[in-house]
Amino acid sequence: MSRRRGWAALAVAALLATGACAKSEDTSDTPAPAGSAGEQVAQSAAADGPTCTLQSFGGQAFDVKTATVGFSQSEKEANPFRIAETQSIKDEAKALGIANLRVTNAQSQFSKQISDVQQLIAQGAKLLVIAPLNSDGWEPVLKQAAEKKIPIITIDRKINAQPCTDYLTFIGSDFYEQGKRAADQMIAALGGNGEVAILLGAPGNNVTTDRTAGFKDRIAEKAPNIKITFEQTGEFTREKGQQVTEQLIQSRPGTSGIYAENDEMALGAVTALKGAGKTPGQVKIVSIDGTRAAVQGIVDGWLYSVIESNPRFGPLAFQTAQKFVAGEAIPATTIISDREYTTANAKDSLGHAY
């Protein structure tokens, strides 16, 4: 079982109806299939983890369709993941007839996200769905929400707080497992030997921490002849990924593999490699996300593999909210299954990418 902090995963596997648009994160070594048309699938697990009910939370029932619902997006929507994530929330709200959805965007500024959520609370939000920029620093928001018994569903990234007390639940991928799966692909790409660079995600959140730890632990376990010789943050952006890779090419010309902790950094690395006169596949790139451009990069030979991190949270987030207000027990954590893109399936799977 993968090592990770927080509560054990708990969810009932089911295909969920989705309103995600085309543009819109499994704890086993064998990837579980994602749903048709790219919708999220909750990973099945034994029903023995901690849960939360409306009664234990101390809140009052409300109608999700008529209540004010707030969604706080963390980052600029220049990243396909964030575009797809926000659109999925909007589409599902529309499909369910939720009349008062209010959406904010922190533009990658944590202080603004705190202010955004505080404003949503002041505007009477009965439910909050938050895609956190950082995992720490949420105490002011959590205190205000707890005083008014407002359930908070966090998606994609965790916050370091107590479920069913400070927030309701987390829905997202097993990031540590994603890092392990990326390492498996890198081991296969390099035949277990070579120098690898890591383009780290933004600091201060559990995604970067867990994707890094999973990758390193798996390499140490399965391929001790692969040496990680370079690590630098690309801040989850294409521009920074390109800049860091340009530095890498100069400082570590013998690098044979690049592990990018998201697709945008991987695509920036491709641009840098092209500029340096490299040919497709000369440096093996493994990434995480599943954007259409990255999957196309596999087809074109520039990327070796992509581990999906599915951003289409709308259906599962609102299904969770409706079950909660109806009195059903909600797991502290719901882990979703993510597919894997390789040269064997990339061309035929472009329609699942976002």
Q: Three-state DSSP class for 173?
A: coil
Helix (H) or strand (E) holding 292: helix 292-299
* Residue 254: Cβ-neighbour burial (10 angstroms; 0-12, 13-18, 19+): exposed
Please state the φ and ψ torsions of residue 242, each to the nearest 5 degrees. -65, -45
* pLDDT for 76: 87
Furthest-apart CA atoms within the chain: distance in Å: 62
What is the structure's pLDDT at 37?
54
Placement of tokens 């995480």 in the chain: 288
Buried/exposed code over 271-306 (b: 16+ C-beta within 10 A; e: otherwise)? bbbeeeeeeeeebbbbbbbbbbbbbbbbeeebbbbb
> How far is residue 42 from each of residues 12, 25, 32, 92, 326, measured CA to CA in Å?
6, 10, 10, 17, 20
Q: Which residue has the higher pLDDT, 39 or 234?
A: 234
The answer to whether 225 and 253 are in contact (CB under 8 A) is no
In single-letter form, the type of residue at position 116 comes to D
What's the chain's average pLDDT? 89
Q: Is the dihedral of CA 82, 90, 33, 6 positive or negative?
A: positive
Residue 243 C-beta-side C-alpha neighbours within 13 Å: 10
Q: What are phi and psi of 202, to 5 degrees?
A: -65, 145
Query: What are the backbone dihedrals phi and psi of residue 51, each rounded to the nearest 5 degrees, phi first?
Result: -135, 170
Please state the pTM of the whole predicted model: 0.87
pLDDT of amino acid 33: 38
Q: Which two tokens stand for residue 42?
A: 């909750």
Structure confidence at residue 261 (pLDDT): 98
Summarised one tens digit per residue, pLDDT across range 209-252 is 999 999 999 999 999 999 999 999 999 999 999 999 999 999 99
Ramachandran quadrant class, 88 (left: phi over 0; alpha: psi -120 to 50; beta: rest): alpha
